[in-house]
Homo-oligomer: A and B are copies of this chain.
């Protein structure tokens, strides 16, 4: 039931889905249409609209999925399975915590990306789970990077990872929300444009930092003595109030 369906897909639809493709069944067609419609128009899209997209009646959608909520849940599951597949197929490339970037690089994943963003926007299950997965992955990768000496250790690794993921994801979400692609079509292009613009300042910040003085950090460490992880005491950065600076 994977990608066995070959003939009709190739001709009609531009590219056969690489991954958990809906089988040829009508139910699968409806599920796929629903996922794309939700990605494009948000979860307020009507059942009738996805029915039209799938070329069936609205009643049939309910017949197969029971209710709109269950259709939504089925889409969530479908998308999560798809994401799991993509991640398994591209381990390493999706490192660094920028899975969305990897996804937006290939247009075939456009509906996936759109769906994830819609779910993040609406606070749905997919958004939550996607975020937590990214945090979990990023924890592993940054731990490796710290061990290899290419990333500085943090006084609270978990908090840092969470901060980084929230910042990156949130910035993307905000960008496409405030300045949505007028084609309402591919968010991937918008995401790429966003990253082209903002990659340099991110890199700058990551390698050179932002502040020239340690004062704010030291003051904070003095004020709040113990971060959750007691392993790294604030003793490594000797808190003294002076500006070490050229």
Contacts and interface: CB of A to CB of B under 8 A. Distances in A.
Contact of A201 (B164, B169, B207, B208): B164
Interface string A194-232: 000111111111111111111011001000100100000
B213 A150 contact: yes
Nearest to A121: B121
A8 interface: no
Contacts of A220: 199-200, 203
- The copy count of this chain in the complex is 2
A201 B167 CA distance: 11
B123 A177 contact: yes
A180 interface: yes
A70 interface: no
A151 interface: yes
Interface of A: 92, 95-96, 120-123, 127-128, 131, 148-152, 154-156, 159-160, 162-164, 166-175, 177-178, 180, 197-214, 216-217, 220, 224, 227, 245-246
